[in-house]
Amino acid sequence: MSEANKDIVRRYVEAFNRGDVDTLQNEIFAPDAVVQGVLGWGGMDVVVPIWRELHAALQITMQIEELVAEGDTVAARYTERGTFVGPFRGNQPTGKSFELVAMEFFEIREGRIVRRWGARDHASQMRQIGMPLA
């Protein structure tokens, strides 16, 4: 079960890196999933626009550094990279890149993610891309 749950998280990262929101929403996350992150939290109706904004503005990709699974829970540590290429939260792009450590925890049931909690060094990201800390 632990390996199967890690595979679901790997699929999540692959789909996220492609910007494949349809696969994330329709195949990887449960319809009633709740996602919590730096920019907000809620169901798919709340987080899908955030994911789209992140990809359009910051070209975010994640590289898995470590996955740990126990029961229905998977913990992931990533290197997250991107470049500020489009408007983001009222700020114009700077063309600057960033690299940081990010961590996410997942609860998985019946082969789908039902909860995801994300934490990343948001302040470092803002400094690297030349955005003011809000």
The string of pLDDT tens digits covering residues 101-118 is 999 999 999 999 999 999
Sheet holding 61-70, edge to edge: 40-42, 29-37, 112-120, 97-109, 73-83, 61-70
Domain count across the chain: 1
pLDDT the model gives residue 17: 96
Asked, for residue 134, whether it belongs to a domain, the answer is no
Residue 80 lies in a domain: yes
Q: How far is Cα 112 from Cα 30, in angstroms, rounded to an integer? A: 5
Contact (CB, 8 A) for 78 and 10: no
Output the CA torsion 25→31→32→35 (10° steps).
-10
Average pLDDT of the chain is: 94
Confidence of residue 134 (pLDDT cuts 50, 70, 90): low
Asked, for residue 75, whether it belongs to a domain, the answer is yes
Q: What is the CATH number of the domain that holds 8?
A: 3.10.450.50
Distance of CA 109 to the CA centre of its chain: 19
Specify the pLDDT at position 100.
96
The answer to whether residues 108 and 76 touch, using CB atoms and an 8 Å cutoff, is no
Q: Is residue 88 part of a domain?
A: yes
Q: Is 16 inside any structural domain?
A: yes
- Whether 15 is covered by a domain: the verdict is yes
- pLDDT tens for residues 12-37? 999 999 999 999 999 999 999 999 98
Confidence of residue 39 (pLDDT cuts 50, 70, 90): confident
What's the confidence (pLDDT) of residue 69?
Answer: 97
Q: Give the whole-angstrom CA distance, residue 74 versus residue 113.
A: 10
Q: What is the pLDDT of residue 133?
A: 78
Residue 121 lies in a domain: yes
Q: What is the pLDDT of residues 67-89, one digit of tens each?
A: 999 999 999 999 999 999 999 98
- Residue span of the structural domain in which 118 resides: 2-129
